[in-house]
Amino acid sequence: MYAFFKNKYLPIAEAKMSILTHAFHYGTACFEGVRGNWNEDEGQVYIFRAQDHMERLINSAKVLRIKIRFTAEEMVNIAAEVVRKGNHKEDIYIRPVAYKSAEVVANMKAHLLEDDVMVFAFPLGNYLDPNKGIHCGTSSWRRIDDLSIPARAKINGSYVNSVLAKTEAVESGFEEAIMLNQDGHVSEGSGENIFIVKNGTLITPAPGDNILLGITRDSVITLAKQELGMETVERQLDRSELYQADEVFLTGTAAHLTPVSKIDHRAIADGKIGQVTQRLQALYFDVIRGKNKKYMQWCHPVYDKPSKSSAKSNGAAVSAVRASDRR
Ligand X SMILES: Cc1ncc(COP(=O)(O)O)c(C=O)c1O
280/323 with CB nearer ligand X: 280
Is 253 among the residues that bind ligand X (CB under 6 A)? yes
Q: Least separation, in Å, of the C-beta of 230 and ligand X?
A: 19
Rounded distance between C-alpha atoms, residue 111 and residue 108, angstroms: 9
User: Least distance to ligand X from the beta carbon of 214, Å?
Assistant: 3
- Using rule CB under 6 A, residue 205 touches ligand X: no
Q: Are 30 and 76 in contact (CB under 8 A)?
A: no
**242/267 Cα distance (integer angstroms):** 10
Q: Name the catalytic one among 154, 262, 272, 312.
A: 154
- 33 binds ligand X per the rule CB under 6 A: yes
Choice from 45, 79, 92, 212 touching ligand X (CB under 6 A): 212
| Near ligand X by CB under 6 A: residue from 81, 175, 192, 247 | 192
Q: Look at residue 195 and give its three-state secondary structure.
A: strand
CA distances from 304 to 307, 311, 318 (A): 9, 8, 5
Active-site annotation holds for 154: yes
216 in contact with ligand X (CB under 6 A): yes
Binding of ligand X at residue 115 (CB under 6 A)? no
Residue 88 beta carbon to ligand X: minimum distance, rounded to whole angstroms: 19
Site membership for ligand X, residue 130 (CB under 6 A): no
Q: If binding is defined by CB under 6 A, does position 123 make contact with ligand X?
A: no
CB of 211 to ligand X, least distance (A): 6
Please give the distance of CA 166 from its chain centroid, rounded to a whole number: 16
Q: What does the alpha-carbon distance between residue 325 and residue 163 come to, in Å, rounded to a whole number?
A: 38
Taking the least distance from each CB to ligand X, the nearer of 162 and 232 is 162
**Helices 215-228, 50-63: inter-axial angle, 10-degree rounding:** 140
User: Stretches 131-139, 237-245, 246-254, 296-304: which one binds ligand X (CB under 6 A)?
Assistant: 246-254
Residues with Cβ within 8 Å of residue 311, at least 6 apart in sequence: 42, 43, 44, 89, 303
Nearer to ligand X, 39 or 162 (CB): 162
Select from 225-233, 250-258, 287-295, 311-319 the region that touches ligand X (CB under 6 A): 250-258
Question: Closest separation between CB of residue 195 and ligand X, Å?
Answer: 12
Give the nearest distance from C-beta 252 to ligand X in angstroms. Answer: 4
- Is residue 258 within the footprint of ligand X (CB under 6 A)? no
Residue by residue, DSSP assigns 89-155 as -S-EEEEEEEEE--B-SS---GGGS-EEEEEEEEE---SS-TTS-EEEEE-SSPPPPTTTS-TTS-B
Q: Please, is 2 exposed, middle or buried when counting C-beta atoms within 10 Å of its C-beta (0-12, 13-18, 19+)?
A: buried
By the 8 A CB rule, do 115 and 98 touch? yes
Q: Contact between 215 and ligand X (CB under 6 A)?
A: yes
**Binding test (CB under 6 A) with ligand X, winner from 86, 191, 205, 301:** 191
Residue 40, classed as helix, strand or coil, is coil
Q: Can residue 139 be called a binding residue for ligand X (CB under 6 A)?
A: no
What positions carry a catalytic annotation? 154
For binding to ligand X (CB under 6 A), which residues are involved? 33, 162, 188, 191-193, 212, 214-217, 251-253
